[in-house]
Amino acid sequence: MDPESEQQAAETVRQLRALATPEGAVALDRALALLDAGTDPVAALTRLRSEAGTDLAGPAWGIARQRQRARATFGPDAERMLFTSDALEQAGRPELAARRAARLLAGGADSVADLGCAAGTDTIALARAGARVLAVDVDPVARELTATNVEALGVADDVWVVAGDAVELVAAARGGEVAGCGAAVLDPARRAGGKRQLDPDRWSPPWSTVVELLAKVPTSVVKVAPGLDHDRAPAGIEAEWVSVGGFIVEALLWGPAVATTWRRATVVRGGEVHELTADADPGPATAGPVRSWLHEPDPAVIRSGLVSLAADELGATLVDPTIAYLSSDAAADSPWVRSYRVDEVLPFNLKKLRALLRSRGIGRVVVKKRGSAIEPETLARQLRTDARGTATVVVTRVAGAPTALVCDVSLPG
């Protein structure tokens, strides 16, 4: 850390400590109440200053804003936790951290090193799952947040928060353990200066530490970017992609002692968890014509390279060898795909598409695309008329040719 960042971190730690005092907690509650009431920030800060003092007002307001944001992800826990905007940005979902912790500990490990604890999401999940946790971070603000949060949530007795560099700790790992722990969670920072770092060598800790940890500590799990190239995943580990509500949220690499398959797609839909696994590369799905149903595979199924398994299950084929849209004769009730009934298929041409929609009384469409340069919102606007019918228009390639599929047509009355 450069001297300026160090000074800034020391000031943030001082403010966090002030907010953890009884007076600080009152100021924080008051700030949150003002925020929840939608009070104008200038007026709210003036009131806070007069009620809580100038020293507490600013920090209470800043942290209350993060607490308000954290509610969506952390639920009732958010009311007791502290976050900075940076730590909240980097925090995973607690329900997925709990799932990860349960799986990591299922083999019998009782102590875990959380290498890069940030605000403590994984540390808390691990402690709640029954582990003793060594929460490590290079950043003093992260350590302060974790220490405060484990205390606030009643798991501090099982957590030790320490300063340390995960790169050095992993380099020193011996006998399947790191920092004296039989298991590890590593969640490298994949952002720097507000920007996403696409190159894993630029993560902190970098990719070399990820590989070293998976090789040296068999009971370990590493959170990686969902866009990670399959070629990067070392042999003998399991790679898992997780989606929630149709959006990819995380990707994990499981060390050899906890890996049970080659690739796993975990799809969380309506609170239910569905898992699709393959012990070896299933290869690509076969291609075929567009039939009565079009299926859009879930992003976790696509990223994990398991589209062909979903295709087999559905009796479906790809509409184009290079595009992840499937088609089948029968409807599917499957967590692996979102399905659309195909009503019309035509070569993509704006004039002809417009004429067809007009002739069918369709005035509003949702546009989806894959393998096409069109801009969905623009096309939806261009196709809009007063007609009351609705449809989903899918623009894609079918056997190499730009094609429009008009799906799920719904006409009033």
User: How many Å apart are CA 408 and CA 314, to the nearest integer?
Assistant: 19
* Dihedral of the alpha carbons of 178, 184, 190, 191, in degrees to the nearest 10: -80
Taking the complex as a whole, the smallest distance from the CB of residue 143 to ligand SAM amounts, in Å, to: 9
Give the E-state strand segments of 143-205 in sequence order: 159-163, 183-186, 191-192, 195-196
Site string for ligand SAM, 66-105 (x = CB under 6 A): ------------------------xxx-------------
**Nearest-10 crossing angle of helices 3-19, 54-74:** 80
Nearest-approach distance from CB 183 to ligand SAM, in angstroms = 15
Binding ligand SAM (rule: CB under 6 A), the pick from 118, 150, 213, 319 is: 118
Q: Residue 205: is the preceding peptide bond cis (ω within 30°)?
A: yes
**Does residue number 212 form part of the binding site for ligand SAM (CB under 6 A)?**
no
Residue 205 CB, nearest approach to ligand SAM (Å): 4
User: How far is the CA of 187 from the CAs of 63, 175, 197, 204, in angstroms?
Assistant: 23, 22, 14, 9
132 or 370: CB nearest ligand SAM = 132
Query: Residues with Cβ < 8 Å from 398, sequence gap 6 or more?
Result: 289, 290, 319, 320, 345
Answer for which of 187, 250, 296, 320 binds ligand SAM (CB under 6 A) is 187
* Residue 204 contacts ligand SAM per CB under 6 A: yes
> Residue 386: left (phi > 0), alpha (psi -120 to 50), or beta?
alpha
Query: Which of the ranges 134-142, 228-236, 322-330, 360-368 carries the binding residues for ligand SAM, by CB under 6 A?
Result: 134-142
- Beta-carbon contacts of 381 under 8 Å, excluding residues fewer than 6 positions away, are none
Choice between 188 and 218, CB closer to ligand SAM: 188
Pick one of 121, 220, 308, 327: the residue that binds ligand SAM (CB under 6 A).
121
* Torsion sign (Cα): 135, 139, 142, 147: positive
Sign of CA dihedral 25, 155, 204, 245: negative
Residues 348-377 vs ligand SAM: string with x where CB under 6 A? ------------------------------
Candidate residues 116, 218, 255, 297; the one interacting with ligand SAM per rule CB under 6 A: 116
Query: With CB under 6 A as the contact rule, which of the stretches 116-124, 172-180, 285-293, 385-393 interacts with ligand SAM?
Result: 116-124
Helix or strand holding residue 9 (H, E): helix 3-19
Q: Output the smallest distance, CB 119 to ligand SAM, in A.
A: 5
How many positions of this chain bind ligand SAM (CB under 6 A)?
Answer: 21
The contacts of residue 328 (CB under 8 Å, 6+ apart) are 291, 292, 293, 295, 314, 315, 316, 317
Give min distance, CB of 211 to ligand SAM, in A.
15
Task: Give, as ranges, the residues between 163 and 182 that touch ligand SAM (CB under 6 A).
Answer: 165-167
- Find, among 188, 87, 76, 72, the residue nearest to 146 by Cα: 87
Cα-Cα-Cα-Cα torsion 214, 220, 225, 228, nearest 10 degrees, comes to 40
Q: Which of 200, 205, 226, 305 binds ligand SAM (CB under 6 A)?
A: 205
Residue 133 in the binding site for ligand SAM (CB under 6 A): no
Rule CB under 6 A: say whether 139 interacts with ligand SAM: yes
Minimum CB distance to ligand SAM smaller for 95 or for 408 = 95
Residue with smaller CB distance to ligand SAM, 166 or 265: 166
Binding flag, residue 137, ligand SAM (CB under 6 A): yes
At 32, which helix (H) or strand (E)? helix 22-36
Residue 394 as a binder of ligand SAM (CB under 6 A): the answer is no
CB of 92 to ligand SAM, least distance (A): 4
Figure out which of the listed residues 48, 70, 189, 383 binds ligand SAM, where binding follows CB under 6 A: 189
Cα–Cα distance, 31 to 25 (Å, whole number)? 10
Structure tokens at 353: 């598409």
Residue 226 touches ligand SAM, criterion: CB under 6 A: no
Q: How many other C-beta atoms lie within 10 A of the C-beta of residue 331?
A: 12
Measured CA to CA, the distance from residue 391 to residue 389 in angstroms comes to 7
Query: Which of these ranges, 113-121, 326-334, 360-368, 392-400, lies near ligand SAM under the rule CB under 6 A?
Result: 113-121
Residues in touch with ligand SAM (CB under 6 A): 90-92, 115-116, 118-119, 121-122, 136-139, 142, 165-167, 187, 189, 204-205
